[in-house]
Structure 1
């Protein structure tokens, strides 16, 4: 049995992708841009084993066996194996050649809520493709294959700040992810994820996008007339480390994405009451200081992603605690990077005063930009045991 374990990151789009022009190849109607989050806080871990003793391909996700025949999963498996065979045909007999006809067992876990709008499919498919590539010795451009699993997965193939070029070709060969800047480019940038709900969303991204493409005139206008300019502006703001420009554009693009969801018929509601209160709180906080110190972004779910700079983290975390007091029984409200206490001034407390919503935010994950996928060298992290079955159920 040959076995490989890898990890891959979550990414959060600041210029959103919503809508496909080709469902099968997952080709988007507009380009997008994201920030890769650090794997110390959010990641998918995947172990893949190949053995001639396995009778069929199998997959386990977060402790439960899942359907290996899912079309997108099969597409990734097929493409990596095709590239491995192509590589074998130009070389000699090696370890890869011996396992190409073997069945595989795949085991994958997320250390964050799945299908709650935290880009779990992006990290999951990026990790699947990267681990398969390591197992079969496939090198080179992998974002095109990851894209065929989940569109935003192509952006999780790189660290730092990443753009996904929509491309023009019908075969999708030019619809690829590119790193704009490495994770070390903006060391002061911090990301706070305010988990308002860990529940599975009511309308999945794939179904939601399809309905939006079919029914929303605003989506078409956004993709064709607004996003191209916003991509240029966002890359410029990132390269200049201009948080005012970065933050405002991030919020405007998030608002517009959710406006297209409302413009969809029937409308799609990913934001909830807590999400709306967080948006209001961010604007009150920024108004108090007369500048953009924090910025929100919401994907297809109610959980807020807050971008800010390191000096602001402690105070804004206290603001969140004040407005959304925790109802947890001793559970850690702040997870991830260490945050020092920061007393709030009476002026700020007055400025942010509004409805107090106990328990509205379950917990906060504090993180920063991070690197792309990596192979693990620690056997203790393997998810499959010596028999090729998940360790937890073996």
Structure 2
């Protein structure tokens, strides 16, 4: 193999996921073992995903990684944990077309080039690290011909980023906290695939695409050390909610699903406030979105929309069907219209067909929107231009896939460097 000139590559696409029963707090910092189970919805990878190309060559002098076209350090313990775990499980690989043979023991001395790209904001509370680490583990597992299934791979991805374990499946996913000291039983299982409840529509308000002030890692550590509420949440509240949420998903019971998702999100942020010093992930715009959804749900007498906020100000809203999603979009655009110089096309991204359902073709239609019926005549409506960067319309989606089209690779097939 010495002196040979070849590059072997795999490119994969992995979705992000949004927890509807939250993970917050670890019982083991190194292995990333959570203090409670969590449940998430995987989002359509066409709208929110990480694409990663991994490559190996005897000509690479050391491991290198690029994220969104910028080189980043691979020295972090979490990257190293994932790389170590995967190299230890690597198998023989043969590429007959290229005449390449790699013996499993060779993987320990071969170096990797990794390029990763997120099609949504990084570190803004949209689970970019979850999609990123899941994609890294999934693509390396394919490159090194691992025999492990996605559930076993999820235990490796978990050591890079806790929520990453849930991105190894599409649809509705549960991360079981596990009891073992070594974390072998702390892994993801699929509760239902994306087709099980495919009428749901998801609208995300990207409130602020900057990086957040408190990272999830340090936030969780502070909460576990200082919050009295977190112990009660993990021991008493979440176990019951997990059972109820599994039932709601299985029965496609939207009312129960929405109530559980909203109350769990609210409690997660209450725990952040109960941390000392307090952590504020939501802002005034986040609170106004909650108010907008709650008023509508109350006026209808039954939940139309669920909301959930991760460790950031962005609102993830889940509508019971397309008709409801169109009404939700009208309300959101009425309350949070784009700035005058913003094109509607860049303000609503993802599945733009919902604009058609909402009867909106251009900015004039947004300006002509009537106030929602639940806003009483005597209440002044405060419209907020510029408080939302943009909206993403999406739906529950499938799990990670290998991209067979080599032109979609992020690395050059000859040099293994970014294109």
TM-score by length of 1: 0.95
Between the two proteins, the alignment pairs up a number of residues equal to 386
Contact 1:60 1:66 in 2 (8 A): yes
Contact 2:52 2:115 in 1 (8 A): yes
- 1:348 equivalent to 2:398? Answer no
Query: Could you tell me which residue of structure 2 aligns to residue 25 of structure 1?
Result: 31
- 1:232 equivalent to 2:227? Answer no
Q: Deviations over 1:88-116 (max 9, x none)?
A: 9xxxx953538513110000000000000
Q: Deviations over 1:169-197 (max 9, x none)?
A: 10000001000001110010111110000
Q: Deviations over 1:277-317 (max 9, x none)?
A: 00111111112212100111000000000011222111110
- Runs of 4+ residues over 6 Å off in structure 1: none
Q: Deviations over 1:11-32 (max 9, x none)?
A: 0000000000000000000000
Residues in 2 aligned to 1:199 and 1:347: alpha-carbon distance in whole angstroms: 30
- 1:132 equivalent to 2:140? Answer yes
Contact 1:164 1:176 in 2 (8 A): yes
Query: Could you tell me which residue of structure 1 aligns to residue 265 of structure 2?
Result: 254
- The aligned runs of 1:218-297 (5 Å cut-off) are 218-297=229-308
Question: SS of 1:226's equivalent?
Answer: helix
Query: Could you tell me which residue of structure 1 aligns to residue 311 of structure 2?
Result: 300
Contact 1:96 1:136 in 2 (8 A): no
Question: SS of 1:142's equivalent?
Answer: helix
Q: 1:373 aligns with which of 400, 407, 411?
A: 400
Contact 2:65 2:73 in 1 (8 A): yes
Residues in 2 aligned to 1:214 and 1:329: alpha-carbon distance in whole angstroms: 44
Question: Which structure 2 residue ranges, 5 or more long, are not aligned?
Answer: 1-6, 94-99, 360-368
Contact 2:334 2:371 in 1 (8 A): no
Query: Could you tell me which residue of structure 2 aligns to residue 121 of structure 1?
Result: 129
- The aligned runs of 1:101-180 (5 Å cut-off) are 101-140=109-148, 141-180=152-191
- 1:332 equivalent to 2:340? Answer no
TM-score by length of 2: 0.89
Residues in 2 aligned to 1:46 and 1:208: alpha-carbon distance in whole angstroms: 28
